[in-house]
Chain A
Amino acid sequence: MITVTVRLMGNLIKISGTSSIQMRMEDGVVIKDLLEEIFRLYGEEMRHQVMDSSGKELAPYYKILVNGRNFNLLLGFDTPLQEGQVIHIMPPIAGG
């Protein structure tokens, strides 16, 4: 088993009621497994925010970071998780 920290931002905090979750997962899990577990915990509203209408891609401008790296620069939904990693699920944010 591994433990990862999931950090949520913006509207996702309102849905989940928390900004940080410690999650115990089986060895060998990947990002899509983690997402399914989060959707199981926090319901379909969370899924509909994070995923697009096909349910296969992230909603526009949503990002997942694995230790600060955009998962598109890794293996996307198939990125394997490791002990102690921090996973950010980030709605669109802007400023400057």
Chain B
Amino acid sequence: MIGGYAGKYLDVDLSTGKVDVRLLDKEMVEKYVGGGGFIAKILWDQLPPNADPLGWENILIITTGPMTATLAPTGGSWYVGFKSPATGIYGEGRGGGYFGPELKFAGYDTVILRGRSPEPVYLYIEDDKVEILPADELWGKDFFKTVDMLEEKYKGVRVLGIGPAGENLVKFACLMSDRYRAAGRGGAGAVMGSKNLKAIAVRGSKDINVADKEGFIKALKDANKTIFEHPATAKLLPDYGTSSLVNGMSAFGAFPTRNHRSGVFESAEKISGETMAETILVKTRGCYSCNIKCTRYTMVREGEYAGVESEGPEYETINAFGARCGIDNLEAIAMANMNANRLGLETISTGTLIAFAMELYEEGLLSKDECNGLELNFGNHQAMNRLLEDIAYRRGLGDILAEGVKEAAVKIGRGSEKYAMHVKGLELTATEPRAAQDSGLGHAVASRGGDHLRPWSPAYTLFSFGSEELGLGGTPDPIVPDDKARVVALMQRVSTFTDMNGMCKFTVLCNTLAPSQLAHLYTTITGISFTAEDVMQSAARVWNLQRALNTIKFGITSADDTLPHRFLNETAPDGPAKGKVVELDKMKKEYYSLEGWDDNGVPRRERILELGLDFVAEELGK
């Protein structure tokens, strides 16, 4: 028995109500590890390439990794995979909290959800008991209420589910778990809603075995020592959470402001982690087996948003509802964050959509009447919070924005495309790429579209968190394209592996844990001997399988590996990158060469074979 895995998965057909329990395949484990690896392989094998993302034939995969539910640092991750309704390509997300471990305690590494239920339902899992039950009373409820109702019915249950945004098929609706944890950029919530599935409630009583207990304790001590000594994980994330970035990113000119017009927000300090610590912060929290505890629990005590309480807002959310919308009111951002969690809206995309609409309004491309009667100027936080709800319930302009920024620009027309900040249909994130050229490349080539986490390379290029094992040292220059392809490719590997193994990316985001430490943890937990090179190679296999899905099955080409008009044609107006555009072509050419991809961005046959993906090679050139 391989350690770290529950060893079984559920295959649920919501159309027929049939539930199968299957054994996890040994080759699946050895070659794809878990998380994004399992997702890519299942989608490759089982998803019809032309499947309508919101049709019955799409597959929604909830999965974990071998470190989920173990004592590995931050071993609380669960993942979701699907064909994205926002992009039409590979979709994946990662969530923390406690749902993932509970699923494994119930005896399952993965749940595959197929078909479409004729009526709203939820899935209840309690060890060997698996039931599809009517969700009439839950449908229409926000996620917080859904959790309350299921927790009242089943004591000690962990809940994953959707809010009204998912039910209404908003294309950037996410999955929520444990009340405040979110996953599923690119519309996992809409896919779940399209299947008439409101929630999964799980509780379990089983154990997860570790292959080499003594070895694991040694690996754990070594990893924890590094985590407790590295400034990112020992001090910064615990003290200020991700919001510690706000002031620093703006200082580097990398804090997207007013729909990415600029990277410098003049009021960054008002919405910074430092200000949060002095005003709305109540306490910090952590997910399962977390020794970092970056989560902020906040409450607004006075003013027009008094009473708002939630986890967060995180850095990305602060930027999306703050600087991106020209808003410097932290309480208003907390309100938007809480409402997004409640309604099941993914905050990065939602903020991008509102910022897009604000710029169109200011440019005279949308009238007040077309904006649901709102004066949608940058900085209008009341309008921002109104529009957020209109998106979730698809009211007026909200119905158009609910399609995602790419499709919304098509519907609105009038030249609005050049203000639409996305890559492949996935809205951009909180790094201004003209001030961090590597981030431009990373967003352009990432497997799920405009993604900042594969990798978050500014940790090195702006904040100088290097890695001896990866050969990243010194002070890189973020505003020139030189060497950025190598940086992105290397850091992508480590991020990808962390999205396979069940840990949180915050253990590697600032190059805290090295590949050799990840290999040591993996080896002792599973009993499968892994080196640092194996970590990099297995991540490369999964990354290339995701790329093969996108290029061979979903039709992505090099032309899609691009950035919005603004970054390639308009120079940065201020900050250290003033006068710069993103020099994407040079970086992309180098990156393709490093990855072993041809000029059209398709993995070459020899690269595919070297990675053991023979079944992909068979599809090349068909």
A interface residues, Cβ below 8 angstroms from B: 7, 9-10, 13, 19, 60-61, 63, 65, 67-70, 72-73, 88, 90, 92-96
Count A/B pairs, Cβ under 8 Å. 89
> Which residues does chain A contribute within 8 Å of B253, judged by CB atoms?
68
Chain A interface secondary structure, helix, strand, loop or mixed?
loop
Report yes or no: A94 in contact with B505, Cβ–Cβ below 8 A.
no
> Which residues does chain B contribute within 8 Å of A95, judged by CB atoms?
236-237, 241-245, 314-315, 509
> Which residues does chain B contribute within 8 Å of A92, judged by CB atoms?
231-232, 235-236, 463
> Which residues does chain B contribute within 8 Å of A72, judged by CB atoms?
474-475
Taking a contact as CB atoms closer than 8 A, the residue among B233, B274, B453 that contacts A9 in the complex is: B274
Report yes or no: A68 in contact with B575, Cβ–Cβ below 8 A.
yes
Report yes or no: A73 in contact with B475, Cβ–Cβ below 8 A.
yes
| Proximity bits, B221-250, A CB within 8 Å = 1, else 0 | 000000000011101110111111101100
Report yes or no: B244 in contact with A10, Cβ–Cβ below 8 A.
yes
> In chain A, what residue has the closest Cβ to B509?
A96
User: Roughly how many angstroms separate A72 CA and B452 CA in the complex, as a whole number?
Assistant: 26
Q: List 13 A-B contacts (CB under 8 A).
A: A10-B239, A60-B231, A68-B253, A68-B577, A69-B576, A70-B475, A92-B231, A93-B245, A94-B233, A94-B245, A95-B242, A95-B315, A96-B315
B interface residues, Cβ below 8 angstroms from A: 231-233, 235-237, 239-245, 247-248, 251-253, 264, 269, 274, 314-315, 435, 452-453, 456, 459, 463-465, 474-475, 477, 505-506, 509-510, 575-577
> Which residues does chain B contribute within 8 Å of A67, judged by CB atoms?
576
> Which residues does chain B contribute within 8 Å of A90, judged by CB atoms?
248, 251
> Which residues does chain A contribute within 8 Å of B243, judged by CB atoms?
95
Question: Smallest distance from the beta carbon of A39 to chain B beta carbons, Å?
Answer: 21
Supplied contacts A68-B251, A94-B233, 5 more A-B pairs, CB within 8 Å: A9-B247, A73-B475, A73-B477, A94-B510, A96-B453
Taking a contact as CB atoms closer than 8 A, the residue among A7, A19, A68 that contacts B252 in the complex is: A68
Report yes or no: A93 in contact with B459, Cβ–Cβ below 8 A.
no
User: Roughly how many angstroms separate A7 CA and B269 CA in the complex, as a whole number?
Assistant: 10
Report yes or no: B475 in contact with A96, Cβ–Cβ below 8 A.
no
Question: Smallest distance from the beta carbon of B155 to chain A beta carbons, Å?
Answer: 36
Report yes or no: A13 in contact with B274, Cβ–Cβ below 8 A.
yes
User: Roughly how many angstroms separate A60 CA and B229 CA in the complex, as a whole number?
Assistant: 12
Q: Which of B247, B505, B510 gathers the greatest number of chain A CB atoms within 10 Å?
A: B247
> Which residues does chain B contribute within 8 Å of A7, judged by CB atoms?
247, 251
Taking a contact as CB atoms closer than 8 A, the residue among A13, A88, A94 that contacts B232 in the complex is: A94
> Which residues does chain B contribute within 8 Å of A10, judged by CB atoms?
239-240, 244, 274
> In chain A, what residue has the closest Cβ to B236?
A94
> Which residues does chain A contribute within 8 Å of B241, judged by CB atoms?
95
> In chain B, what residue has the closest Cβ to A69?
B576
User: Roughly how many angstroms separate A72 CA and B505 CA in the complex, as a whole number?
Assistant: 28
> Which residues does chain A contribute within 8 Å of B251, judged by CB atoms?
7, 9, 65, 68, 88, 90
Report yes or no: B459 in contact with A96, Cβ–Cβ below 8 A.
yes
Report yes or no: B452 in contact with A96, Cβ–Cβ below 8 A.
yes
> In chain A, what residue has the closest Cβ to B278?
A13
User: Roughly how many angstroms separate A7 CA and B251 CA in the complex, as a whole number?
Assistant: 9
> Which residues does chain A contribute within 8 Å of B233, judged by CB atoms?
94
> Which residues does chain B contribute within 8 Å of A63, judged by CB atoms?
463-464
User: Roughly how many angstroms separate A70 CA and B453 CA in the complex, as a whole number?
Assistant: 23
Q: Which of A63, A90, A93 gathers the greatest number of chain B CB atoms within 10 Å?
A: A93
Report yes or no: B506 in contact with A96, Cβ–Cβ below 8 A.
yes
Report yes or no: A19 in contact with B274, Cβ–Cβ below 8 A.
yes
Question: Smallest distance from the beta carbon of A82 to chain B beta carbons, Å?
Answer: 15
Known A-B contacts A63-B464, A68-B252; the reply to A94 vs B274 at CB < 8 A is no
> Which residues does chain A contribute within 8 Å of B575, judged by CB atoms?
68
> In chain B, what residue has the closest Cβ to A73?
B477
Q: Which of A90, A92, A94, A95 gathers the greatest number of chain B CB atoms within 10 Å?
A: A95
Report yes or no: B576 in contact with A94, Cβ–Cβ below 8 A.
no
> In chain A, what residue has the closest Cβ to B574?
A68
> In chain A, what residue has the closest Cβ to B495?
A96
Question: Smallest distance from the beta carbon of A52 to chain B beta carbons, Å?
Answer: 13
> In chain B, what residue has the closest Cβ to A65?
B251
Report yes or no: B505 in contact with A96, Cβ–Cβ below 8 A.
yes
Report yes or no: B244 in contact with A65, Cβ–Cβ below 8 A.
no
User: Roughly how many angstroms separate A95 CA and B245 CA in the complex, as a whole number?
Assistant: 6
User: Roughly how many angstroms separate A18 CA and B239 CA in the complex, as a whole number?
Assistant: 19
> Which residues does chain A contribute within 8 Å of B264, judged by CB atoms?
68
> In chain A, what residue has the closest Cβ to B231?
A92
User: Roughly how many angstroms separate A19 CA and B267 CA in the complex, as a whole number?
Assistant: 13
> Which residues does chain B contribute within 8 Å of A61, judged by CB atoms?
231, 463-465
> Which residues does chain A contribute within 8 Å of B509, judged by CB atoms?
94-96
> Which residues does chain B contribute within 8 Å of A19, judged by CB atoms?
269, 274
Taking a contact as CB atoms closer than 8 A, the residue among A9, A60, A88, A96 that contacts B456 in the complex is: A96
> Which residues does chain B contribute within 8 Å of A60, judged by CB atoms?
231
> Which residues does chain A contribute within 8 Å of B435, judged by CB atoms?
68
Question: Smallest distance from the beta carbon of B464 to chain A beta carbons, Å?
Answer: 7
User: Roughly how many angstroms separate A67 CA and B245 CA in the complex, as a whole number?
Assistant: 17
Report yes or no: A93 in contact with B463, Cβ–Cβ below 8 A.
yes
Known A-B contacts A10-B240, A65-B252, A88-B251; the reply to A94 vs B475 at CB < 8 A is no
User: Roughly how many angstroms separate A41 CA and B459 CA in the complex, as a whole number?
Assistant: 32
> In chain A, what residue has the closest Cβ to B457?
A96
> Which residues does chain B contribute within 8 Å of A73, judged by CB atoms?
475, 477
Taking a contact as CB atoms closer than 8 A, the residue among B248, B452, B474, B477 that contacts A93 in the complex is: B248
User: Roughly how many angstroms separate A95 CA and B247 CA in the complex, as a whole number?
Assistant: 12
> Which residues does chain B contribute within 8 Å of A68, judged by CB atoms?
251-253, 264, 435, 575-577
> In chain B, what residue has the closest Cβ to A71?
B475
> Which residues does chain B contribute within 8 Å of A88, judged by CB atoms?
248, 251
Taking a contact as CB atoms closer than 8 A, the residue among A9, A65, A94 that contacts B231 in the complex is: A94
Question: Smallest distance from the beta carbon of A87 to chain B beta carbons, Å?
Answer: 10
User: Roughly how many angstroms separate A13 CA and B274 CA in the complex, as a whole number?
Assistant: 9
User: Roughly how many angstroms separate A72 CA and B509 CA in the complex, as a whole number?
Assistant: 23
> Which residues does chain B contribute within 8 Å of A13, judged by CB atoms?
274
> Which residues does chain A contribute within 8 Å of B245, judged by CB atoms?
93-96
In the A-B complex, list the 10 residue pairs whose CB atoms are closest, starting with the nearest. Answer: A68-B576, A95-B242, A94-B232, A95-B245, A72-B475, A96-B456, A92-B231, A94-B236, A88-B251, A93-B248
